A = this chain, B = another copy of it.
């Protein structure tokens, strides 16, 4: 059956929201809650019913009030709020990147299903979606093979990334002065500066900023295939950095400086300079990734 992770996450979110209200305040309408928590009204009602049962909400119908001071504000554990599919992804990535799975390893659906505690259909679905990452391959009627997180993988990934990024950088540099992209670029430049000023404490935040920066650039000339490729990059980097902390602070600091050079070059509208800065940054990003693949 379907898991109730959506409900549990919504329940926790509702608690957070209520704790920001004052004792006795009226509860927002079901539709408002539905919109703000990103779930259906059906789920909102279930959450409300549940919160009423534990005394965090009182009243009924249009007259519902909130009791953030209630002693029974118990949250569901974080682990129960993540849907099965996401768990499978997490566990698989862990197996692949952290446990250094060998190229050529056969992937066994039933085995993974048992290890991850899910039904085989869940594994199949994940593998089917994951195929586009280029790290596994299907042999009909005979399972999947892991192709390896290898040097070649990193090189091929970056070859495409460079083509896409250069093309987008050129498009961005050619944007008219009035375009909102320049405003967004300035905003993200400032974020870089801020992060750099507090790098010791906040260097973990770079991963997210990096992803948003590159997505901003490619938004200059939207293309669904490029966007979908960036999804792959984002996921790979997300998990990769989660398990490879070596030199993280320094790596990120270098990358931020490269980004800033790149941004300045874009602001000059000089295509050649922008290309140069873009190439320089990607080359160093590739080196970083390569260093960790060759450890395998």
Contacts and interface: CB of A to CB of B under 8 A. Distances in A.
A157 B229 CA distance: 13
Nearest to A147: B224
Contact of A157 (B40, B159, B225): B225
Interface string A213-240: 0000000000111101100000000000
A229 B87 CA distance: 28
B128 A224 contact: no
Contacts of A229: 225
Contacts of A251: none
A132 B231 CA distance: 11
Interface in A104-156: 121, 124-125, 128-129, 131-132, 134, 141, 153, 156
A286 interface: no
Nearest to A159: B223
Interface string A20-45: 00000000000000000000100000
A174 interface: no
Please classify how large the interface on chain A is, using the bins under 10, 10 to 19, 20 to 34, 35 or more: 20 to 34
B131 A225 contact: no
Nearest to A224: B134
Contacts of A134: 224-225, 228
A156 B223 contact: yes
A11 to B, nearest CB: 16
A226 B160 contact: yes
Contacts of A160: 223, 225-226
Contact of A141 (B6, B121, B124, B132): B6
A230 B157 CA distance: 16
A184 to B, nearest CB: 22
A163 interface: yes
Contacts of A156: 223-225
Nearest to A85: B140
A167 interface: yes
A169 to B, nearest CB: 14
Nearest to A83: B140
Nearest to A132: B132
Interface in A218-267: 223-226, 228-229
Given A121-B121, A124-B125, A134-B224, 9 more contacts: A6-B141, A128-B129, A132-B132, A134-B228, A159-B223, A160-B223, A163-B163, A163-B164, A225-B229
18 contacts: A40-B141, A121-B121, A125-B125, A128-B128, A132-B132, A132-B228, A134-B224, A134-B225, A134-B228, A153-B224, A156-B223, A156-B224, A156-B225, A157-B225, A160-B223, A160-B225, A160-B226, A163-B167
The 3 closest A-B pairs by CB, nearest first: A134-B224, A156-B223, A128-B128
